[in-house]
Structure 1
Amino acid sequence: MFAKDILFWNVDTQIDFMSASGKLYAPGAEQIQPVLSQITSLAKSNNIQVVNTADFHYDSSKELSNNPDFITTFPPHCMANTSGAEYVNETNPETPFSEVLWDQIYSEKNIRDFIINRNIIIKKDAFDVFEGNTNTEAVLELIAPKKVFVYGVTTNVCVDCAVVGLAQRNIAVYVIEDAIKELPNIPLPFARWDQLGVTRITFSELGKHLN
């Protein structure tokens, strides 16, 4: 139904991270928005399925703190049902989309129904989407991609968790370097990605890897 064996993985391109007025702005994130728009358009024109992850926090979230260290804890951001938790226009999933909540456990039939749509939103309550939404594993297993192309924010937190998690599940992972942005004061993950065999490409190189 969709482009065979290929999956795009859009990490947390939400207003609180992407906008200078957001609650946890990644400095310079607006610079990648034109490329994000191109990726979204490419996915649509090539009928490529997209998993869109999203922080969706409540006050009890363990990563939130009023005295954050900005490494393992952060100020309240992407709070449930706030505008800061919405996607920027460049990546806003096209309807119809499926929404996989982190505080529910779904049956295999539910998951099969979810993956009928080209866009799937996986909401999460942890940096790592596999930890922050226990349904992620089932979604990934049923889609069964051979190649996953990752982009979004932030490079050294949630993008890193997604990249590592996907690579550890023996999937060929490609990171679109001109479509990611990091937070300050946290080490960059590139050495680990290299050890895991992750391929880093630019958007201009993406087309030749889609076959």
Structure 2
Amino acid sequence: MIELQDHDALLIVDVQKDFLPGGALPVPEGDEVVPVLNRYIERFTRRGLPVFATRDWHPPNHCSFRDQGGPWPPHCVAGTKGAEFADGLRLPEDTVIVSKATGPEREAYSGFEGTDLAARLKDLGIRRLFVGGLATDYCVLNTVRDAIRHGFEVFLLTDAVRAVNVHPEDERKALEEMRRLGARFITLEALS
């Protein structure tokens, strides 16, 4: 069992409508993370621990979009319905929202890239991050990678992530890399 401590935070990665079934760039079964994340949110808020949430917040001419030569269809355009957090995701009012990939010429899969996320976490004395969200093989992987690089101990919430799997082995490779980097894998049942 892992016991929550005062220097812990929950980090929810990109659980936005465009990444759910029916969205512009759907993650298969992406909607299944929402009720599980809500249970994590309840655990963290009950202990008075902070919740952070990253979101893609793209301009309409973002470099990752196919019309601009990128690999993806337009998604999570700032201010649109697709960029909103998933219906049913019960983020607390004091959730710290971190917008990423906000400029047209720079991709940012990581919640740390081009943001003040690391500084905000460190200002709160956070040492351990519990990470869940979408997608395992892109934004979750890169966020976990950078969190470890910034010196945080990372717990991947394996019951609260889903992968895009553009290539069939992408999820497996992402999980292997996160484990190799030192992320610990847990599920809700392991959290006291």
Q: TM-score, normalised by structure 2?
A: 0.85
> Which sections of structure 2, spanning at least 5 residues, go unmatched?
102-107
Show the counterpart of 1:174: 155
Instruction: Give the distance between the partners of 1:78 and 1:31, measured in 2 at CA.
Output: 19
Q: Kindly tell me: are residues 147 and 90 of structure 1, through their superposed partners in 2, closer, same or farther at Cα, counting changes over 3 Å?
A: farther
Show the counterpart of 2:166: 185
**Kept in 2: contact 1:11–1:52 (CA 8 A):** yes
Instruction: Give the distance between the partners of 2:39 and 2:118, measured in 1 at CA.
Output: 28
**Kept in 2: contact 1:156–1:182 (CA 8 A):** yes
Asked if residue 7 in structure 1 is aligned to residue 9 in structure 2, the reply is: yes
Instruction: Give the distance between the partners of 1:27 and 1:181, measured in 2 at CA.
Output: 7
SS class of match (2:65): coil
Show the counterpart of 1:104: none
Identity %: 26
Asked if residue 38 in structure 1 is aligned to residue 39 in structure 2, the reply is: yes
Give 1:92 deviation, angstroms: 4.1
RMSD: 1.8
> Which sections of structure 1, spanning at least 5 residues, go unmatched?
98-118
The 5 Å alignment of 1:19-98 reads 20-66=21-67, 73-95=71-93, 97=94
SS class of match (1:32): helix
Q: TM-score, normalised by structure 1?
A: 0.78
**Kept in 2: contact 1:67–1:75 (CA 8 A):** no
Instruction: Give the distance between the partners of 2:41 and 2:63, measured in 1 at CA.
Output: 32
Give 1:21 deviation, angstroms: 1.2
Instruction: Give the distance between the partners of 2:66 and 2:91, measured in 1 at CA.
Output: 30
Instruction: Give the distance between the partners of 2:32 and 2:89, measured in 1 at CA.
Output: 14
Give 1:199 deviation, angstroms: 0.3
Give 1:56 deviation, angstroms: 0.4
Show the counterpart of 1:198: 183
Q: Kindly tell me: are residues 127 and 15 of structure 1, through their superposed partners in 2, closer, same or farther at Cα, counting changes over 3 Å?
A: same
Which letter maps to 1:122? V
Which letter maps to 1:62? C
Instruction: Give the distance between the partners of 2:61 and 2:136, measured in 1 at CA.
Output: 25
Stretches of 4+ aligned residues off by more than 6 angstroms: none
SS class of match (1:7): strand
Instruction: Give the distance between the partners of 1:61 and 1:141, measured in 2 at CA.
Output: 30
